[in-house]
Homo-oligomer: A and B are copies of this chain.
């Protein structure tokens, strides 16, 4: 059973998972060997190579865990957290610990062996977004979970696995992650002072200045954030205020699919298919019922952060928690604006 352990100084939770490696030498030389496409467990026809599906978009005449699908969600074969059991919160001397309970699901975004989400159609990307919403809503019903993180690791140095079939991941956690709490607390402090949402203000300023604006379509903007951690970091923000990604109306899902495809295509073409992570930032579950997060609906604003992984995070970043970005967001925005795509 994986464990959730809390650092007694910083209060940071760590998942100590033993599912993925058991011997020290497994950490050495871990770059993947050549893997043939036929072995890819995520391609249509290879359904038996994954755990049974949790969710799928299928042709009417197809059977679960057989060909005939457009999108499948399966449990991770090496989950960081386990779905069965109770948290059993406990102490061990001065340390705090709980069982590593949670859900870890893989969203297989296409039945074909397409490597980069940029190469999916807009409508396929919208379907992926809809399935995120369906899964988040379903996982919210499990009272053990407080948050679902939706993210993507594209490419080896961004944490991608040995098979490069386009997919994303959902992890439901039994605690609200530190980073999420910090964002909620920061947004609330701004709202308390200004009586305005910091993200709404940011969107207005970025549209007006144009300095860091990359794409501006009906419903969404893509910008290089003012205090980017990484060169070519991009945030996609909905113009309409909402703290909750799952409230996104169907027509806006198509729009989000459109801007996501534009941004990912610009990164792919302009930067030679770089490794990247994207992370959906949305409000936690059941916020209305807990006093602390009651104000989230007006102070927080969901968005997507895309981080190309072109630089290496080093001692300075680990030691200070502040980042060095060796390329200005203004230059990055200018560069990405000028990359012409589809």
Chain A interface SS verdict (over half): mixed
Which residue of B94, B232, B327 contacts A202 across the interface (Cβ within 8 Å)? B94
A160 — which chain B residues lie within 8 A by C-beta?
A: 314
Q: What is the oligomeric copy number?
A: 2
CB distance from A166 to the nearest CB of B (A): 14
Q: Do A17 and B149 touch (CB < 8 A)?
A: no
A335 — which chain B residues lie within 8 A by C-beta?
A: 24
CB distance from A10 to the nearest CB of B (A): 5
Q: Do A10 and B186 touch (CB < 8 A)?
A: yes
The answer to whether A315 and B159 touch (CB under 8 A), given A177-B321, A327-B18, is yes
Q: Do A313 and B315 touch (CB < 8 A)?
A: no
A95 — which chain B residues lie within 8 A by C-beta?
A: 205, 226-227
CB of A19 within 8 A of chain B? yes
A10 — which chain B residues lie within 8 A by C-beta?
A: 179, 182-183, 186
Stretch at the interface among A37-45, A56-64, A275-283: A275-283
Which residue of B92, B151, B327, B329 contacts A315 across the interface (Cβ within 8 Å)? B151
The answer to whether A271 and B323 touch (CB under 8 A), given A95-B227, A157-B312, A202-B94, is no
Q: Do A149 and B316 touch (CB < 8 A)?
A: yes
Residue of B nearest to A11 (CB): B186
CB distance from A213 to the nearest CB of B (A): 14
Which residue of B30, B178, B270, B316 contacts A320 across the interface (Cβ within 8 Å)? B178
Which residue of B11, B17, B271, B321 contacts A24 across the interface (Cβ within 8 Å)? B271
